[in-house]
Amino acid sequence: MRKFEKIAFEQFKKDISDDKELYDSYSLPKRETKYAAAYDFYALFDYTLKPGEIKKIPTGLKVCMEPDDALLLLDRSSMGFKWNVRMCNQVGVIDSDYYNNSDNGGHMWIRIQNEGDKDYVVKKGEGMCQAMFIKYLKTDDDVVNDKKRSSNY
């Protein structure tokens, strides 16, 4: 089963705020059009990145997916094209075993940098990145590893 969920409120309080109204108010990702390949993630609050600034932004989200799925976190096209803003790691790869991990409950974050010459302003509820599910393949001679994700992994 593939689905997005809010992180547990206890994790939300730890990572973001103990504001229950904020927790109850934000939306899960969705595709904006019938043929959209990716799900839009929406900002939990207003933020501004000054030119040259880097910020780590919480999504308030976790994702459940099939064992052979991965979720790619991607820039929105307008971020780079219009504003010269991009995620610091370019593409975030979320593995299926990241869901509900013991370290942070599976909370996904993005880290973005403004490499442009103007302030980049995002308002609460606006799109801030996008995510795409993919199936991945393994080599025929892949060695099975039973190691489980932990807070030390």
Residue 78 lies in a domain: yes
Number of compact structural domains in the chain: 1
Domain encompassing residue 59: 3-135
Map 59-95 to HEC letters.
Answer: EEEEEECCCCEEEEEECCHHHHHHHCEEECCCEEEEE
Q: In the 8-state DSSP scheme, what is residue 20?
A: H
Q: Say which CATH number the domain at 41 has.
A: 2.70.40.10
Residue 121 pLDDT > 70, yes or no? yes
Residue 151 lies in a domain: no
Q: How far apart are CA 112 and CA 119, in angstroms?
A: 13
Residue 150 lies in a domain: no
Q: Report the half-sphere exposure of 13 (CA within 13 A, side-chain side).
A: 5
Residue 56: enclosing H or E segment and its boundaries? Answer: strand 54-64
Is pTM beyond 0.75? Reply is yes
Residue 145 lies in a domain: no
Residue 64 lies in a domain: yes
Residue 146 lies in a domain: no
pLDDT, one tens digit per residue, over 10-53 is 999 999 999 999 999 999 999 999 999 999 999 999 999 999 99
Residue 106 lies in a domain: yes
